[in-house]
Amino acid sequence: MNRAEMRGQKRDDVDVSTSRSTSVRTFLFFLRGVIPNVGAFQPTQGSRVESSRIRIQPAARHPSLRLKNGYAQDDVHHRRVVPMLACVLLVSTVSSAQVTFERLVNSAKEPQNWMTYSGDYSGKRFSALDQINGGNVRTMAAKWVYQTAATGKLETTPLVVDGILYATAQDDRAFALDARTGRPIWMYQRQIPSDIRPCCGHVNRGLAILGDKVFLGTLDAHVIALDAKTGSVVWDKTAADYRTGHSFTVAPLAVKNLIVLGVSGGEYGVRGFIDAYDADTGQRKWRFYTVPGQGEPGHDSWSGDSWKVGGAPAWNTGTYDPATNQIFWPTGNPSPSNRGDDRAGDNLYSNSLLALDADTGKLNWHFQFTKHDEHDWDATQVPVIIDAGQKKLIAQADRNGYFYVIDRASGKLISATPYGKTTWSDSKDSDGRPVANGQASPTLEGHTICPGALGTTNFMAPTYDPQTGLFYVTARDQCDTFSKAPQSYEAGHAFYGSAYFPSEEAEPYLGFLKAIDPATGEVKMKFQHTSPTWSGVLSTAGGLVFSGDAEGNFIAFDAASLKPLWHFQMGGAVYAAPMAFAVDGKEYVAIAAGSAIYAFGLP
Amino acid sequence: MFPCLGGRRTIRLTATSIFLATFGVLFLGIIVPASADDKNPFAGDAKAAKAGEYEFRINCALCHGLGARGGGRGPDLTRSVKRHTHSDSDMFQVISNGIPGTAMPANGTNGQGVGMTDEEIWQIITYIRSREVKSPAAPPGSVARGKDLFYGDGNCALCHMVEGKGGRFGPDLTGVGGSRTRQAMIDSVRNPSQRLAWGLTEATKEFPQEYESVTVVTADGKTIKGVTLNEDSFSVQIMDSGENIHLLDKDKLRSFQKSRESAMPKYDSDVLSDKDLDDIVAYLVSVGAK
């Protein structure tokens, strides 16, 4: 495809009717780090000129273009292909740039690519690549580092398709890199309003890719599509009003021709929702409100008008089962998070796992982990699809300290087992669900409960390794003192109903990587970090588990023993989850830390 | 969500029981002189103070404790004398901009709470003012005698530094008198392990390093006792009582034992009388008030 064709195609896709899209609010700029204030940069003029300086083609797909733009592509790579990866490379060479739904469903056939937030639809965050393994990981070294120039917490999981890495950073940055070298191909940064109100930093956890576009949910509650080759805005849709505390931090999920994502804003009393947008046009195809409206089932689980500001955001990426065409999406805390007095009832569908029909957004079933939550225990953890023989399961290590295994056909609970320090439940109901004891509620003066508000785990992605049959998750033992205070709702203002703070009695706080057997819920092994970490976890067919720590280390563990085999000091705390990919027959493991993205490989 | 307590300076403030980083160090420079417009519009307004209490719980109580009485991380704000926030407009600037080099973050950047409007900040200030307890006009103790004890028979200066003079093994106490209550200082001397002090504030970590004591045996059989300056899963940096810094790899140690017992000895009243302690505290308060 030549450049003229690319432009033509891009133009066809542009939805010029979209408000506030390309001309005012969104910007392309390609001089990474040179222009700190993108507001001064005109979006359309000049960007194409700049882009022609650094835009390159994926080497494997267009050999004729390999020397274009002065990039010396290394043909030697192709002759050094490791046998294990030969078929992988072949797929890479012939694959189209178009990321089709079929490719996403069959992602196991192209392990060199990482095309969704969790690596595949099941949420396992498992890579079938085994070039880097227990025998050679000690020789692993940094291959490149990409500095994003962003400040705050870098939570992104990169995607890699056919040699190009796509990722995000704070303040709604998105960029494409040569995955072999870390060299930028394009960069996008949105000009976000100064009065956005995200609860927990200007963070973003990643992109979805479908067709020739990547998709970003923004801090000002827009959903935008970017041309995967140029970073140009193709369409830009407003999902909600950011001034009332709506925002997106989630990595969207592409399913069929839909871009699915859930809103953040449980700290502002939003009424949560999960949206699906047509990938071509940006038209919203469905919305599922996570707090039922009047006349809908579950509405009576809220007293009075509390449902209108009920929270239940949906800010972490769900999973998808192609066999039943169901999306599994978890939801967050009811609002206000720390005081339930004015929202009597179970508060459906807060802190729940929802099974939605992918085409319509209709609810098939729900499972509520924490009823009437008063501890900010969002259930926004990745729900992992696991098949055990004939059993079709979905497993979630919940923020409330229990590991749940659920029948994903029926939504019936199979087991709930604590995997960290918990004090809030002493008994289970007839479904086997842990029930809050009388001591659990926050008080005016404060009351200590475990886990604390940060939970036994949080948004950090877990992994399920089909080779060991174990579920690996980052865990924390910390108890908090929870207090409550009456607070009236005011649009766009924090709506917590009080606060929590670490309990001094329960210090120090401990951080772990734990390996759970989903068959029993038993914690089989654990590694204790120096302090609690926010890193997600990756497993690979090389018999390895990868995670990071708060002290800035990236660590490779033996999946069978959780013994650290290798580590590298990245100089910044980890708030992201690792992923793996291969280009030109070479495996890489990548993770974001500090302000940068790191890629590691064998010498 | 939770603040990522930041800051790059090494702050070793106290071997007493409470973390002192906040409101202590280095922030004179960031205070913008107040203009006439910086008057608290809610001064003395009880209703605003009540609104401020809720904002305080959301945004401040994590470190400064319920009721502003001080928490594990931030100082007690009920003291009427605050080291650098004499006026309401000073306080407005500190809440808005944070205190560089300490764990006190700028408004809206700590991950806790969501950023306050100017109006909400003034409400919080009104609340803090409503919580203040007047300290006695003449606190007990002799400053001059306290200074003599600190550098002399009390042996404090063997480990602690005040205004550039003293030891390095324990935290620097120059700012302690300006940010902690008398009682907190007394408790810390009588029972140093009750709450370990916080040391290194590392930008990458959620909490600063604590003043845990540590005993290691090296591969060649040498025993080193000291405090951990920093630590991760693979390496540790230790200062011994001779102020030597040891850089060690954990996998090369024969043993590595950390303890929640402070390296500071317990000063019972038969070692240090109540009067002597009052004098030392009076000295620290006099320095801290500067």
Span A449-487, pLDDT tens digits: 999 999 999 999 999 999 999 999 999 999 988 988 888
Number of domains forming the structure of chain A: 2
Q: Which of B59, B203, B233 sits opposite A529 (nearest CB)?
A: B233
For B17-56, letters b (16+ CB in 10 Å) and e give bbbbbbbbbebeebbeeeeeeeebebeebeebbebbbbbb
Read off the pLDDT band of A278 (50, 70, 90): very high
> In the prediction, which pLDDT does A189 show?
96
Residue A527 falls inside a structural domain:
no
Look at B233 and A483 and tell me if their CB atoms are within 8 Å.
Answer: no
CB contact under 8 A, A485 and B57: yes
Mutate to test the interface with A, among B47, B66, B202 (most CBs of A within 10 A): B66
Query: Range with the lowest mean pLDDT among A142-151, A293-302, A543-552, B86-95?
Result: B86-95
CB contact under 8 A, A551 and B233: yes
A9 in a structural domain: yes
Per-residue pLDDT band for B206 (boundaries 50, 70, 90) equals low
Domain shared by A219 and A361, yes or no: no
The band of A603, judged by pLDDT with boundaries at 50, 70 and 90, is very high
Q: State the ipTM, two decimals.
A: 0.81
Number of Cβ within a 10 Å radius of residue B244: 10
Is B57 an interface residue toward A (CB < 8 Å)?
yes
In a domain, A16, yes or no: yes
Q: Tens of pLDDT along A321-378?
A: 999 999 999 999 999 999 999 999 999 999 999 999 999 999 999 999 999 999 999 9
Does residue B184 register a pLDDT over 90? no
pLDDT greater than 60 at residue B9:
no
Per residue in A63-108, pLDDT (tens digit) is 332 222 323 333 333 333 344 444 444 444 444 469 999 999 999 9
Domain's final residue, options A360, A380, A400: A380
Write out chain B residues lying below 8 Å of A502, CB-based: 62, 72
Given 1.10.357.10, 2.60.40.1080, 3.40.50.12160, 2.30.30.100, which CATH number is that of B213-259?
2.30.30.100
**What percentage of chain A exceeds 70 in pLDDT?**
83
Rounded CA gap, A299 and A314, in Å?
18
CA distance A535 to A573: 9
CA nearest to B277, candidates B138, B137, B136, B153 = B153
Domain boundary among A345, A380, A415: A380
Is A364 among the domain residues?
yes
Cα three-residue angle A191-A159-A209, rounded to 5 degrees: 70
Indicate if A264 and A330 belong to the same structural domain.
yes
A136 vs B79 pLDDT, higher one: A136
Contact across the interface for B206 and A197, Cβ inside 8 Å: no
Q: Is the pLDDT of residue A23 over 60?
A: no
Binning pLDDT at 50, 70 and 90, where does residue B73 land? low
* Residues found in chain A: 603
Region A31-50 average pLDDT? 32
With contact defined as beta carbons under 8 Å apart, do A456 and A476 qualify?
Answer: yes
A411 vs A488, which has greater pLDDT? A411
Nearest CA to A456 out of A425, A428, A497, A429 is that of A425
- Mean residue pLDDT of chain B comes to 79
* B213-259 and B28-131 share a CATH fold: no
> Same domain, yes or no, for A217 and A274?
no
Per the CB < 8 A criterion, the answer to whether B8 and B203 are in contact is yes
Taking an 8 Å cut-off on Cβ atoms, the answer to whether A454 and B2 are in contact is yes
In 3D space, the residue among A594, A508, A499 whose CA is nearest the CA of residue B207 turns out to be A508
- Is B114 in Cβ contact with A199 (below 8 Å)? yes
Instruction: State the residue for tokens 């949560």.
Output: A272
Q: Which of A47-56, A565-574, B72-81 is the least confident region? A: A47-56
Taking 50 as the threshold, does the pLDDT of residue A29 lie above it? no
**Region A422-437: what's the mean pLDDT?**
96
Do A224 and A293 fall within a single domain?
no
Q: Among all residues of chain A, which has the CA nearest to that of B74? A: A501
Same domain, A302 and A212: no
Q: Look at residue A504 in the predicted model and tell me its pLDDT.
A: 64
A221 lies in the same domain as A369: no
Reduced to 3 states (helix: H, G, I; strand: E, B; else coil), residue A484 is: coil
Domain for residue A601, yes or no? no
pLDDT digits (tens, 9 = 90+) for A390-402: 999 999 999 999 9
**What ranges do the domains of chain B cover?**
28-131, 213-259
Q: How many helices (H) and strands (E) does chain A have?
A: 5, 38
**Tell me, what CATH number does A95's domain have?**
2.40.10.480
pLDDT of residue A58: 35
Q: Is A224 within a domain?
A: yes
CA distance B141 to B154: 15
> What integer pLDDT is reported at residue B137 of this predicted model?
56
Domain that holds residue A79: 1-122+158-189+206-238
The burial of B224, by beta-carbon neighbours within 10 Å (0-12 exposed, 13-18 middle, 19 or more buried), is given as middle
């205004």: which residue's tokens? B163
- Give the pLDDT mean for A201-205: 94
Peptide bond before residue A349 is cis, with ω within 30 degrees of 0: yes
Whether residues A107 and A215 fall in one domain: yes
The nearest alpha carbon in chain A to B17 belongs to A504
Return d(Cα A377, Cα A373) in angstroms, integer. Answer: 7
Is residue A277 domain-shared with residue A372, that is, in the same domain?
Answer: yes
Is residue A66 in a domain? Answer: yes
Co-location of A281 and A218 in the same domain:
no
**What CATH architecture is B28-131?**
Orthogonal Bundle (1.10)
**Would you say residue B66 has pLDDT above 80?**
no
Which residue numbers of A are catalytic?
376
- Mean pLDDT confidence for A476-503: 84
Q: Report residue A51's pLDDT band, with 50, 70 and 90 as the boundaries.
A: very low
Partner A contacted by B274 (CB < 8 A): no
What's the CA gap between B167 and A218, in Å, rounded? Answer: 52
Domain co-membership, A170 together with A273: no
HSE-CB of A22 using CA atoms within 13 angstroms = 21
pTM over 0.90: no
Q: How confident is the model at residue B71 (pLDDT cuts 50, 70, 90)?
A: low
pLDDT tens digits for range A288-332? 999 999 999 999 999 999 999 999 999 999 999 999 999 999 999
Lowest mean pLDDT of A2-6, A41-45, A255-259, B198-202, name the range: A41-45
Give residue A540's pLDDT. Answer: 98
CA distance A6 to A230: 9
Residues of chain A found within 8 Å of residue B55, distances taken between Cβ atoms: 494
Q: Note whether A42 and A170 are same-domain residues.
A: yes
A184 and A314: one domain?
A: no
A497 in any annotated domain: no
- Answer with the one of A351, A380, A409 that is the final residue of a domain: A380
